Amino acid sequence: MESLDFPDLGLLAPVRSFSASPLQSLVLFNNEFTLRFSEHLAARLEKSAATPGDRVSSAFRLIFQRPPTAEELQDFTTLASQHGLPAACRVLINSNEFLFVD
């Protein structure tokens, strides 16, 4: 939590300052929870969808609540075929669209 600027709970902080660093992304990307959840999600997707494209589409719907664009579908299907579906899920879970609310 230190790398994510976790505030000291003993101090009053009505407004939290914003910071973003590459270290924060690496901590989230390599976090044990993220790794484990990516594997569980990939296993769920493999049971529910037959083709790699369908699995990627299902991942987008579950994580982002929207279908992937044609380019996203192609890129993530390629990523999943080269590095495995858990790796593609891990990228989606660590994306700005998932981590931040607009």
Alpha carbons 37 and 20: distance in angstroms, whole number: 23
* Cβ–Cβ < 8 Å for 16, 7: yes
- The whole-number pLDDT of residue 9 equals 61
What are the phi and psi torsion angles at 5 (to 5°)? 60, 40
One digit per residue, the tens of pLDDT, for the chain of length 102 reads: 455 555 566 666 566 555 566 666 667 767 888 899 999 999 999 999 889 999 999 999 999 999 999 999 999 999 999 999 999 999 999 887 887 777
- The whole-number pLDDT of residue 65 equals 94
Q: Residue 75 belongs to what H/E stretch?
A: helix 70-83
- The whole-number pLDDT of residue 22 equals 67
